[in-house]
Amino acid sequence: MLKPSVRVAMGAPRRLAAGSRSPINWRPRTALNTPQEFAALLEGFHRLEQNGFAGGAALATLTRTQGSTFRRAGTRMLVGGGGWVVRGLSGGCPEADIIARAHEVIGSGEPRIVRYDREHGLDALIELGCGGELEVLIEPIIKRTDLAFVAAVECCLNARQPGFLATAFARDGRCLAHPRRLVWQGTVLHDEFADARLREAVIEQGRRHGGRPLVRSLESADGPLEVLIESLLPPYAAVLVGVNAASLALARIGCDLGWDVTVVDHRESREPPAGLPPQARLLPAAPQDLAGIKVLDRRCSAVVMTHNLERDIEYLSVLLTAPLGYLGAIGSRQRCARLLEACGASASRVHAPAGLNLGSETPEEIALAIAAEILAVNAGRQGGSLSAGSGPIH
């Protein structure tokens, strides 16, 4: 755990290597947290507003990471003055220390930057053997204007089009008295900069960068400012065609992962099935109706699982025309071969049989295997054992 005699210093931060500079696109694992985590933060923000900001809160944001860390820059945690916490930054130590400092920020009403590294004595991650370093912006959320940027971020995510969030948070390594934000999605949705020079510089950087969050030192009317730039991507969506034990189990897993889940009801009976999670959407739809589903894009995974071959062929034929990030179908190898042949689909286009080879038997195990394969495909991974590799695990 952290030493009790730690101190917070405000010297110049260590800079990380900048990420690649390329146009904004649909890449996995970029941040406002991960997109599916924003719903939990949004709920916390709404709770604050509904309670009139009673007790206040603090928003902790990872601005820089180096080495092996639990989460990446852009990950956020909301700490309520009443002791509640939404999401998390580190998975363990130094999270308790971050929460304690968040309460100090709520009391003082002043933001601060806290660094956990060798230079500032807060080397908890090093002591635990992870070898990583963190820089965390902690800012008070005590009035409505502190959340002025949230509506624009929510609008950007709901539109299912890429954009970015920029946060100007420091000058010469010292925290700004009021961090300022800009949200962009083809046009400016929210601007707290009040500085045309800085706004144009941020937009140029954001348009060229579509990868991991990064910090840039950019010129403003008052001199250079440190700005965290993060891609805003829609949360992952899942369209599950068929109502049965496996699809409902997969819907529950997907909702737990924060996916936007739609279960396509192919049955003649329209009674809501038992086991459907409340967050999931039940959509009675024939194959020709699928084209109208808004989420059928590169951030969406679809699995055909009606247990009727002819019906699966009809649904899969329609889904093949959508630009999905993942498309799968369940069944035996022989059944899947017939399915692909009937649709004129290649094995490289459709994951059939869907799922990783986990030895699954029960509907819940089958759902887990499919969810694991979807995660691996979205992350550009093969889905093998972590212990068998030597590269980064995040």
| pLDDT tens, position by position, 324-378 | 999 999 999 999 999 999 999 998 999 999 999 999 999 999 999 999 999 999 9
Q: How far is CA 247 from CA 47, 261, 320, 349, in A?
A: 32, 11, 19, 21
Asked if 222 and 351 sit in the same domain, the reply is: no
Q: Which two tokens stand for residue 253?
A: 């897993």
Residue 195 forms part of a structural domain: yes
Answer for the pair 376, 383: CB distance below 8 angstroms, yes or no. Answer: yes
In this predicted structure, which of 20-24, 31-35, 280-284, 352-356 has the lowest mean pLDDT? 20-24
**83: alpha, beta or left, given left = phi > 0 and alpha = psi -120 to 50?**
left
pLDDT at residue 24 above 50? no
Residue 24 forms part of a structural domain: no
**347: alpha, beta or left, given left = phi > 0 and alpha = psi -120 to 50?**
alpha
State the average pLDDT for the chain: 84
Asked if 223 and 263 sit in the same domain, the reply is: no
pLDDT at residue 163 above 60? yes
Q: Give the Cβ contact number of residue 393 at 10 Å.
A: 7
Among candidate residues 183, 198, 232, the one where a domain is terminated: 232
Residue 85 forms part of a structural domain: yes
Q: How far is CA 121 from CA 9, 105, 126, in A?
A: 9, 20, 10
* pLDDT given for residue 64 in this prediction: 83
Q: How far apart are CA 293 and CA 285, in angstroms?
A: 10
pLDDT at residue 150 above 80? yes
> Which amino acid, one-letter code, is at 274?
A
Asked if 140 and 178 sit in the same domain, the reply is: yes
8-state DSSP, 327: E
Query: What are 197-238's pLDDT values in tens digits?
Result: 999 999 998 887 666 788 999 999 888 999 999 888 888 999
Among candidate residues 187, 216, 232, the one where a domain is terminated: 232
Q: Give the Cβ contact number of residue 222 at 10 Å.
A: 9
Q: In what order do the strands lie in the sheet with 223-232?
A: 188-191, 174-184, 163-171, 223-232, 214-220
Residue 273 forms part of a structural domain: yes
Residue 70 forms part of a structural domain: yes
* DSSP letter for each residue of 333-367: HHHHHHHHHHHT--TTTSBSS-S--S---SHHHHH
In this predicted structure, which of 88-97, 172-181, 278-287 has the lowest mean pLDDT? 88-97
Asked if 320 and 192 sit in the same domain, the reply is: no
Asked if 357 and 215 sit in the same domain, the reply is: no
Q: What is the mean pLDDT of residues 153-171?
A: 90
What phi, psi does 177 have (nearest 5°)? -65, -30
pLDDT at residue 9 above 70? no
Q: Give the Cβ contact number of residue 118 at 10 Å.
A: 11
Residue 94 forms part of a structural domain: yes
Among candidate residues 232, 247, 262, the one where a domain is terminated: 232
pLDDT at residue 29 above 50? no
Q: Which two tokens stand for residue 320?
A: 């093949």
| Banded model confidence at residue 195, pLDDT cuts 50, 70, 90 | very high
Q: How far apart are CA 48 and CA 45, in angstroms?
A: 5
Asked if 42 and 162 sit in the same domain, the reply is: yes
* pLDDT given for residue 268 in this prediction: 83
Question: What residue numbers bound the domain in which 320 lies?
Answer: 237-378
Count of the separate structural domains present in the chain: 2
Q: What is the mean pLDDT of residues 63-88?
A: 80
Residue 337 forms part of a structural domain: yes
Asked if 167 and 310 sit in the same domain, the reply is: no
pLDDT at residue 254 above 80? yes
Asked if 207 and 279 sit in the same domain, the reply is: no
Q: Which two tokens stand for residue 136?
A: 């965390």
* pLDDT given for residue 41 in this prediction: 85
377 or 89, higher pLDDT? 377
117 or 308, higher pLDDT? 308
Q: What is the CATH number of the domain that holds 306?
A: 3.40.50.720
Query: What are 92-141's pLDDT values in tens digits?
Result: 557 888 899 999 999 999 999 998 877 765 545 444 445 577 889 999 99
Asked if 129 and 253 sit in the same domain, the reply is: no
Asked if 212 and 275 sit in the same domain, the reply is: no
* pLDDT given for residue 22 in this prediction: 30
Q: What is the mean pLDDT of residues 245-266?
A: 95
Helix or strand or coil: residue 15?
coil
What phi, psi does 249 have (nearest 5°)? -65, -40
pTM strictly above 0.85: no
Residues whose CB is less than 8 angstroms from the CB of residue 50 and which lie 6 or more positions away in sequence, other chains included: none
Q: How far apart are CA 250 and CA 344, in angstroms?
A: 27
Asked if 176 and 226 sit in the same domain, the reply is: yes
Asked if 209 and 108 sit in the same domain, the reply is: yes
Q: What is the mean pLDDT of residues 47-54?
A: 91
* pLDDT given for residue 210 in this prediction: 64
Residue 317 forms part of a structural domain: yes
pLDDT at residue 189 above 90? yes
| Banded model confidence at residue 59, pLDDT cuts 50, 70, 90 | very high
* pLDDT given for residue 176 in this prediction: 95
